[in-house]
Chains A and B, each alone.
Chain A
Amino acid sequence: MNAEWRRAALGLIVTLMASATIGDAQIPPPPPSSIGGCSNEVASFHTCALQKARTFTPPRTQSGKPNLQGYWRSLLTQPFSIEGVKGDEPLVGDLVMPWEVAPGMIVDPPDGRIPYQPWAAAVGRRGVNFEKFIDPRTACGPGGVPRLALQDVNQIIQPTGDGHVVWLFEDHHINRVIAMDGGPAPGPDIKLRVGHSRGRWDGNTLVVDVTNLNGFTWFDDSGNFYTDTAHLVERLTLIDADTIHYEVTVEDPRTYTRPWKLVWALVREKTPGFELLEEACWEGERDLPLIREQGFQYYFGEPWQGR
């Protein structure tokens, strides 16, 4: 399966969907020059945001926890590749599937590249995954962690009693229930598309451990990936009333040579009366048979199963 076929197939899909949702959801406006008083360049945003978090006193919930509740949109992100898109990328300026030149979101390692092992580099980074498989999100699957928080609007709820944090995503009506009760994760044979999330407060930061992942989700449109042995640690910190510094450390010794880290900003959606809407995907889905006719396969982690 070559890129031409993929583009033809995807072009067909975009035409068939005859809807602005893909375009609206995927092509972000350029970020403002300042985000929460920090630069819009990801590495300096990261340093600056952590600095600000030291002195900012966040609003509190009734029970005294940092109050992260509300509607959030990601900034400093793009859907194409978490490693960024350079000008010589063939899909830049493509008529059917136009990618845009855009920076990546990896702050560690400093070169902004995923520290793949050689076999894995050939699978991710527009490799085997991109060439042969249907983007799990296109198949109405969840964006997964952390892709969900990278795209589209979401809502954080801190229910009464502090037993959980609930993170709802408009994208394909996905939810994440983050258990704050200190209980154990389910056994290792239980694998979930968005994993199992256990959270705790580290000062003013919500720290979330994500385990029990099935590895059937990607980071981005390029097919960058982890496997079912991945362990993610997310950190959410308010740096002012309307900005969250979001950071996720990715660990999967089977796939990478070292742990690595992504960062972006979540900025409060303040439109009065704003609410999440129901987004159905599988209901009435008609494109997948056409995509499969082009030779693309459903992604159940085949490139790494049995490794």
Chain B
Amino acid sequence: MRYALTGAALLTALLFSACRGAEQGPPQGAVPRTPDGKPDLQGIWQAMTTAAHDIQDHHARLGVPPGQGVVDGNTIPYQPWALEKTRQNFATRATADPEAKGYMPGVPRIMYMAFPFQVFQTPEHVTLVFEYAGANRILYTNGTPHPRGPITWWLGDSRGRWESDTLVVDVVHFTDQTWFDRAGNFHSDVLHLVERYTLVGPDHLQYEVTVEDPKVFTRPWKMSLPLYRRKEANVRLLEYVPSFLMQQDEVERERQTP
């Protein structure tokens, strides 16, 4: 009797730990690690989703592939005035979209555009270098706090920490000039993001971001998408710099219209 009880307890414990293991993702060793034991996020990554066009479910439009959204539950909890603003944004997107002006696209938008970015890691920071606009983000993991605001930065200020095997990054100090996509989804300057980067396999980096902005939304909401490792043997980040390309285009158009 006594043995049977112990056996049941052992079984329960085993089941419990198995469940916990499942919750915590793949076992240690399944992903590359740095010498200090952290998941090694380094490499060239790229999203494969239509979120850059529209983060929500959308039909095809001319030049826009159809797609299922990356927003949890698909609904973005806009305040009524803000929902109206997204409609205006959508109607005027050809000129009003900050991307159309060649500006830095903001966060999280830059994370799921159709361009690769490269991750570099040290114990003090995780640096993201983007092919788009030659932009970069330094996610500090050295325990330093956000600098005192107010500061308006296009890519915000990022302070991260490791929670088990997930890199959790708090991002604040934004401008109100960036959008989430080409469909006019937007935020204000009090945007506060919590990003979670989890290596779920050697070639898959799960990206999840919680969006909080009491000026625009009625509650926080969440997006998630996988980032894929670029595997081409010769893959390198090149340059896509909108300002430079727009200047070239301007000159070319002037040349054609004397």
Known contacts A175-B134, A278-B153, A280-B104; A160 and B34 CB within 8 A of each other: yes
A282 x B103 contact (CB < 8 A): yes
Contact B35 A160 (CB under 8 A): yes
B103 x A158 contact (CB < 8 A): no
**Chain B residue nearest to A212 in the complex (CB):** B238
Of the residues A69, A161, A298, contact of B42 by C-beta under 8 Å = A161
* Cβ contact of B243, chosen from A179, A190, A282, cutoff 8 A: A282
Interface presence of A10 (CB below 8 A): no
Assess the B244–A193 pair: CB atoms within 8 A.
Answer: yes
Residues on A with beta carbons closer than 8 Å to the beta carbon of B35: 62-63, 160
Chain A, 251-307, CB within 8 A of any chain B CB: 273, 275-276, 278, 280-283, 285, 288, 297-298, 300
A281–B123 alpha-carbon span in the complex (Å): 30
Is A177's CB within 8 Å of the partner chain B? yes
Establish whether residues B118 and A177, one from each chain, have CB atoms under 8 Å apart when the complex forms.
yes
Distance in angstroms between the alpha carbons of A302 and B175 in the assembled complex: 37
Q: Closest residue to B32 on the A side, CB-wise?
A: A161
Residues of chain A within 8 A of B136, CB atoms compared:
168, 173, 175
CA distance A276 to B103 in the complex (A): 20
Report whether B127 and A276 are in contact in the complex, using a CB–CB cutoff of 8 Å: no
Residue of B nearest to A190 (CB): B238
- Within 8 Å CB of A216, what residues of B? 244
Shortest Cβ distance from B149 into chain A, in angstroms? 13
Task: Report the nearest B residue to A172, measured CB to CB.
Answer: B134
Bound complex: CA of A280 vs CA of B101, how far in Å?
13
Q: How far is the CA of A130 from the CA of B68 in the complex (A)?
A: 52
A58 at the interface (CB under 8 A from B): no
Chain A residues with CB under 8 Å of B34's CB are 160-161
Main secondary structure of the interface of A (DSSP, over half): loop
Query: Among residues 127 to 150 in chain B, which have CB atoms less than 8 Å away from a CB atom of chain A?
Result: 127, 129, 134-136, 138, 140, 144, 147
Q: Indicate whether A142 reaches chain B with its CB closer than 8 angstroms.
A: yes
| B contact residues around A63 at 8 Å (CB) | 35
A48 interface hit (Cβ, 8 Å): no
With contacts A173-B134, A173-B136 known, is A159 near B127, CB below 8 A? yes
Residues of A within 8 A of B154 (CB): 278, 280, 283
Residues in A with CB closer than 8 Å to B122 are 69, 157-160
Task: Report if B11 contacts A (CB, 8 A).
Answer: no
A141 in contact (CB, < 8 A): yes
Q: Which of B40, B144, B241 contacts A273 (CB under 8 A)? A: B144
Q: Does B248 contact A (CB under 8 A)?
A: yes
Those of A189-236 within 8 Å (CB) of chain B: 190, 192-194, 196, 216
CB distance from B131 to the nearest CB of A (A): 10
User: How many Å from the CB of A218 to the closest CB on chain B?
Assistant: 14
With a cutoff of 8 Å between Cβ atoms, the chain B residues found around residue A298 in the complex are 247-248, 250-251
Please give me the residue from chain B that is nearest to A216 by CB atom: B244
Q: Is B162 an interface residue (CB 8 A)?
A: no
On whether the beta carbons of B127 and A300 are closer than 8 Å, the reply is no
Find out whether the CB atom of B243 lies under 8 angstroms from the CB atom of A163: no
Q: Which residues of A contact B242 (CB under 8 A)?
A: 282
Choice from A161, A164, A173, A186 contacting B234 with Cβ under 8 Å: A186
| Residue among A273, A275, A300 making CB contact with B248, cutoff 8 Å | A300
Task: Give B129 Cβ to nearest chain A Cβ, in Å.
Answer: 5
Residue A101 CB within 8 A of the other chain: no
Q: How far is the CB of A1 from chain B (nearest CB, A)?
A: 16
Please judge, given known A-B contacts A174-B134, A282-B103, A283-B103, whether A192 and B42 are in contact too, CB under 8 Å: no
Q: Which residues of B contact A278 (CB under 8 A)?
A: 153-155
State whether the Cβ of B237 lies closer than 8 Å to any Cβ in chain A.
yes
Output the nearest chain B residue to A160 by Cβ-Cβ distance. Answer: B34
Contact check, A192 vs B247: say whether CB atoms are below 8 A apart: no
Q: Are B104 and A283 in contact (CB under 8 A)?
A: yes
Find chain A residues with CB under 8 A from B40 CB. 160-161
Q: Which residues of B contact A166 (CB under 8 A)?
A: 120, 127, 129
Is A183 close to B, CB under 8 A? yes
Say whether A13 faces chain B, with CB atoms less than 8 Å apart. no
A142 to B120, CA, bound (A): 22
Q: Find the B residue at minimum CB distance from A283.
A: B103
Q: Which of B95-138 contact A (CB under 8 A)?
A: 102-104, 118, 120-123, 125, 127, 129, 134-136, 138
Given A157-B120, A157-B122: A186 touches B238 (CB 8 Å cut-off)? yes
Which of B42, B134, B247 is A139 in contact with, Cβ under 8 Å?
Answer: B247
Do B42 and A160 touch (CB < 8 A)? yes
A159 contacts B42, CB within 8 Å? yes
Starting from the known contacts A159-B42, A281-B243, A300-B248, 4 additional A-B residue pairs (CB-CB under 8 Å) come to A159-B122, A166-B129, A273-B144, A282-B242
Interface residues of A, Cβ cutoff 8 Å to B: 62-63, 69, 139-142, 157-161, 163-164, 166, 168, 173-175, 177, 179, 183-184, 186, 190, 192-194, 196, 216, 273, 275-276, 278, 280-283, 285, 288, 297-298, 300
A-B contact pairs, 16 of them (CB 8 A): A141-B241, A141-B243, A142-B134, A159-B121, A173-B104, A173-B136, A174-B134, A186-B234, A193-B241, A216-B244, A275-B138, A278-B155, A280-B104, A280-B154, A283-B104, A298-B247
